[in-house]
Amino acid sequence: MAAPEPEAPTSVRSRAKDHSPWNWLLFIPIVVPLIPAFFNADSPRLFGFPRFYWLQLAWIILGVATTTLVYQMTKKRGDR
């Protein structure tokens, strides 16, 4: 007779079922930097830096802002 498998902790089970629509926003910082039209010119320059360099920083800020928004909107209200 086989021993029953131990159950996974409830936190693991609840995270696996997290299909919030807010999670779709996480594709924005992945897809937007892959669009070549954004890098196709040298101007405008920002503080003397070509578009390519300051857009790299903008993508980081976009990624952090999007991740923070999704985290705040999907976290459980009772958790700390």
The DSSP annotation for 38-73 comes to GGS---S-BTTB-HHHHHHHHHHHHHHHHHHHHHHH
Answer whether residue 58 is part of any domain: yes
Answer whether residue 7 is part of any domain: no
Which pTM was predicted? 0.67
Answer whether residue 64 is part of any domain: yes
Give the total number of structural domains in the chain.
1
Reading the chain (80 residues) residue by residue, the pLDDT tens digits are 666 776 666 555 555 566 888 899 999 999 998 988 888 888 888 888 888 888 999 999 999 999 999 999 988 766 55
Contacts of 46 (CB under 8 A, 6+ apart): 54
Q: Residue 59 sits in which domain range?
A: 21-78
pLDDT digits (tens, 9 = 90+) for 16-27: 566 888 899 999
Q: Are 51 and 39 in contact (CB under 8 A)?
A: yes
Answer whether residue 9 is part of any domain: no
